Amino acid sequence: MLEEFKKRVAEGRTTVCVLGLGYVGLPLAAAFAEAGLSVVGYDVDRTKVINVLAGKSGLRHFEGDEYMPYVVSGSLRVTDNLAEIEGCDAYVICVPTPLDDARSPDLRCVMSAVDTVGVSMRRGCLVALESTTYPGTTSEVVRERLERRSCLVAGDDFFLVYTPERQDPGNPVYKTRNIPKVIGGVTPQCLDAGMALYGRVMEECVPVSTTDAAEMVKIFENVYRAVNIALVNEMKVLCHRLGIDVWEVVRAAGSKPFGFQPFYPGPGLGGHCIPIDPFYLSWRARQIGMSTRFIELAGEINASMPEYVVRRAQDALDAHGLCMTGAGVLVLGVAYKPDVSDVRESPAVKVIRMLEEKGADIWYHDPHVPELGDMRSIQLTPSVVASADCVLLVTDHAQIDYGMVAEHAALIVDARGRFFSERVSGEVVQA
């Protein structure tokens, strides 16, 4: 069975079904098609399917011109019809894994996708989970559910692997195919099959001993970033109290050629990975009677940053004899990171909500986010900047003319904790 699977992959006779056509699934589906495989992109959201087929991905970093050639050629089919995904050679699950209100893993999307695969799969196929989750999900939860739904046995009748997504939207260097791919299987044969499939697509595959280890790799990567971002955010507050430029400190410390990796302060955490994924591990730790103090503390520090930014903005307005109630605040950048359209968990959204609760009149400009709820991005002009009581810099976009902002703004509050002395001649409040 294993040799037959590997032979089909090598000869390009493999049909891969990618479930979930979002930030991870759609670029991955295109990568499989680019590698010469037949791909079916499946999503339960019919509107998304229609938009994708029309070349409207909804992803600013991955537009239609990057995948539509494969749709036109027929190597990538996009559907919400279950009948079209029956009997595929491989199923790759790329669906969201949020937290519920109690900060516990919400695996409903994963379980729904697993059920779909379970009634569609056949003997000899491979199933891969890419959604971020806690160690043990694939080997304990997904395996049992797949076996029950399909009446097949993992390792004997089909292959099961976990391979964490490592997407970095907007990164100009690292795309789906040149990011090393970590893979773990529930058996050695499963790992071998996973390495064969992804080895055809990725420039480098990194095998690990188990699916549990692969799941831990993904969460450890995100915990590492969350903890270090929390550290530099706490340093930002301390440096402000001491009258020190934290960015100068980070830049100088980064000159050390060993033992230090620079992280930079900001208004909080955004996106799916860093704000959410570490809590999958802290939840898992509680199940075995352990506490993850670094994760919990990092979460508290990073979650407090939007409130700190709002407090600094209020202090700045007070110093200028202005009240927050009724103040006009122009927010620059609402995406969670530079030069993307993703506002998931964006600290800018939290800051806007807090400012509105205090009675501020908010408008925003973001070249990548034309709409935010019932708000629309406004055109950034000298008159718009000059009319604001406060300009709040949140996300740094290359398309924003900060020189013009500096020239016309009455007051600038920098939510990234950075002194713009090289750009700004007027007053800037570090936040």
Angle, CA 46 vertex, CA 44 and CA 47 arms, to 5° = 130
In the chain, DSSP finds a helix count (H) and a strand count (E) of 14, 15
CA-CA-CA-CA dihedral for 130, 133, 139, 142, to nearest 10? -70
**Residue of 17, 190, 273, 390 marked active site:** 273
Of 108, 106, 89, 110, the closest CA to residue 98 belongs to 106
Asked whether 317 and 360 are in contact (CB, 8 A), the reply is no
Instruction: Please tell me the distance from the alpha carbon of residue 384 to that of residue 377, in angstroms, as a whole number.
Output: 12
> What is the full DSSP assignment across 119-155?
HH--TT-EEEE-S---TTIIIIIIHHHHHHHHS--BT
190 an active-site residue?
Answer: no
Extract the tokens encoding 24: 């991870």
Burial of 276 (0-12, 13-18, 19+ CB in 10 A): buried
In whole angstroms, give the CA distance from residue 328 to residue 362.
6
Question: Amino acid identity, residue 85?
Answer: I
* Number of residues in the chain: 431
Of the candidates 89, 215, 79, 83, the one whose C-alpha atom is nearest the C-alpha of residue 143 is 215
Catalytic residues: 273
